[in-house]
Structure 1
Amino acid sequence: MTTKGTGILSYADKSIQIDKPSITFLNPLIPYSWQPTSENQAGYFCLFTEDFVSPTLKNENLSQSALFKVGGNHIFFPGKESLKLLESVFENMMREIRSEYANKYDLLRSYVQIIMHEAMKMQPPETFYQPVNASERITTLFLELLERQFPIDAPSQTLQLKTANEFAGQLNVHTNTLNRALKESTGKTTTEWIAERITKEAKALLQFSNWDIAEIAFSLGFEHSSNFIIFFKKQTEVTPLQFRKEIGANVV
């Protein structure tokens, strides 16, 4: 939440001018950029993991609100009374996190709920600004979003975004818009970029890990190892096992 200062918040092909106190709900999978337009900046951050979120919060109406919808508006401008309330909540959270109270995390979850409910009362901003070069901005954000999924460190870890539609949804743009931007900026399609990066990671896992083919396939988002083998051979002209033999990888 910003309480002082101005700037431009950008994501996908949208930019919004922040010229007064605001509160923003960020999707952890979407890259954002903040360009300050004033020297003095002040505000609060509230960062938490998925483990922090209680089942109650996930199951109630809040989880279905615009705050969490990919295509929804996540930026809100609080009025004077709302701003005063939100500042008080954030200050209470900062004090509570340092306390010795045994149930402080339950209390912190309640504070998060208050913030969300207060935001739901606000009207989202209506004015968006189209960047000078939207294609380059979309390309930059896509490549950053793609790279955020790697490296894969454990067989239980799996890719969340695997298709052009899924990436476009996270970036809040149409699939054709994303594909056109990438083609214009890089000469490659969305599918080509995804396939190349998955292939690169597959090669690294085949060479440097002792995971079996099924584990690698699962971690890269393939439901069946046979689909992974077909994909890998199409990209490299050899099977995963042949690749391992060629590079002399030692698998225990």
Structure 2
Amino acid sequence: MRKNFESKSLLELYQYLHLPVDLLDVTEGFTIFNLKDVGFTLPYQSASYRPNFFSFLFVKEGSGKYTIDELTFEVKPHSVYFTNPSNYRTFSWTHIEDICLITFDEAFLKNYISKEIYDNFPFLLTETVKPQVVSDAFFQSVEGIYKQIQQEYLGKAEAKYPIIGHLLAILLYKIKEHIWQDYNPIYEGNRSSQIVISFKRLLEKHYRDLNNGNVEVVFKVQDYADAQHLHPNYLSNVIKSKTGKPIVTWIAEKTLVEAKTLLQRSTISIKEITYKLGFSETAHFSNFFKKHTGTSPVQYRKAHLL
């Protein structure tokens, strides 16, 4: 298996992981099924992958772990777990009794819910969050919705996906109200919030493009400002006031994540990584990396190369 697998869909991921795919229909960028029907051999540990889709796990009865970058979360009964297209992760299962998995891509959201999907559901851009254990009453309310979605998914209705889109929107609204009602810093209808949303979207996309080789130059603050037709100082002030972190910290943290990923999961030279991440000299990259990790890129690679 490749060490830095990029998964465009759940079908592609399951093929990569050598898991059964007969439950999957990804013609519209959407899937839903119960993990108990997959036939995992437990305990199960996945290889590392980076998805290009969103996912929700509704764990009625089961247990396992998800690891994203260096953060590991336990998945427990009556929990809801959300992830978006972002960094490399792995998952493991020790017990699967009743766990519903829903995946969808951005195109599905925009085709069947709203072209302004992030305006209505800004939590879709949330940074990595741990699974949320919810009340019995709330779990039962969302269970009724996702079971109806699954029924439509398995059906043959001509309007199958528009119906699923409407039901998914109801599910997203319930989750937003129950789990992310106080989501900060992005608030709907606020210009500054939209700037943050656009910045975070571009930041994620840009580093995915860098990793995929679609672009070769790392964006600076000026580039992110130009993308929104803003003065860089204004963009910096908005990001700092809304998120509590300077824009250069956002960029540095994302650069560090990509550096660790490339050192762990690729065989390209440190010199190549240096230029890929926008540093003019290997010494500059090494100093940056050591400042944030306490170790050199060479030492980190030796200790963590997968």
Scaled by the length of structure 1, what TM-score is found?
Answer: 0.49
**Structure with greater proportional strand content:** 2
Scaled by the length of structure 2, what TM-score is found?
Answer: 0.42
Instruction: Compare relative contact order (CA 8 Å, sep 6+) and give the higher one, 1 or 2.
Output: 1
Say which one has the larger Rg: 1
